[in-house]
Amino acid sequence: MLLGVNIDHVATLRQARYALLPDSPNAEPSPLQAALDAAEAGADSITIHVRGDRRHMQDRDAFELREQCPLPLNLEMGVSDGMLALALELKPEFVCLVPESREEVTTEGGLDVLSRLDEVKACVDRLRTAGIRVSLFIDPDVGQVEAAAETGGEMIELHTGCFANALGDERSAEIERLIDAARCGAGMELQVNAGHGINYGNLPALFEVPHLAELNIGHAIVSRAMRVGMGEAVREMKTAMAQYPG
């Protein structure tokens, strides 16, 4: 199972102080340096979400990473003409299409592919024509998995936020939803990834879910990095993920 390290929150910390001073030589911490440290420690890809409001990652970060980080880049983006233009210029290896609303603190809920099928399909077509592999971030719902397959995207990323926040019986129910969605995705020959809210504590519970090819993990790794450094935080996660039976 591969690890995509989401470094958005390195940029969150920088923006908290330097949003209005983007050219300051003091601007820190550096998302690029975090990515290079993650790469050296064995991360398999770097994920960034360039949001419409540019609250953390800036376009400049995306291009710097593209040019200077050796790992594949996964750009998370909303389905919009502006983001599509950025993606076509940036040409990351992967794009993950996510829902986006300004009010949310972080991505809440998966992309409703079922109700936006034509719009999402058109976006997937443009990206794939440019040679970019496309993933759809969806709730673990069989209807959404089937719709994702119809768009022509090659991958789904199952939203694990509800799983991460659930306790006891509710967590078991969330695991069952993830298992069903993962089986459905694999049955439709989609690569099945997962992400959101995964941390060092809840990771083992996810091992019941079959067919997982890649996990995208951000907040927990960046938080752990504050204590042990990015390299060690990534190594610890990779070591824990090596127990996945699939």
Q: Which residues bind ligand PXP (CB under 6 A)?
A: 6, 8, 49, 76, 96, 98, 106-107, 137, 157, 195-198, 216-220
Least separation in angstroms between residue 205's CB and ligand PXP is 15
User: What are the C-alpha distances in Å from 214 to residues 101, 148, 193, 197, 241?
Assistant: 25, 17, 5, 14, 10
Residue number with CB closer to ligand PXP (163 or 231): 163
The CA-atom distances, in angstroms, between 164 and each of 82, 147, 191 are 31, 24, 21
> Is 55 in contact with 12 (CB distance < 8 Å)?
yes
Which secondary-structure segment (H or E) carries 159?
strand 155-159
Residue that has been written with the tokens 């794939």 in this structure: 128
CA distance 112 to 136: 10
Q: Nearer to ligand PXP by C-beta: 21 or 228? A: 228
Of the candidates 175, 174, 126, 121, which has an alpha carbon nearest to the alpha carbon of residue 152?
121
CB of 165 to ligand PXP, least distance (A): 11
C-beta separation of 3 from 46 below 8 A: no
Cβ 143 to ligand PXP, closest distance in Å? 19
**Which lies closer to ligand PXP via its Cβ, residue 37 or residue 214?**
214
Minimum Å gap between C-beta 26 and ligand PXP is 26
DSSP secondary structure string for all residues of 165-216: H--HHHHHHHHHHHHHHHHHHHHTT-EEEEESS--TTTHHHHTTSTTEEEEE
Active site residues: 49, 76, 196
Cα 215 from Cα 193, distance rounded (Å): 6
Which CB, 23 or 164, lies closer to ligand PXP?
164
Q: Are 207 and 234 in contact (CB under 8 A)?
A: no
**Residue nearer to ligand PXP on the CB measure, 31 or 218:** 218
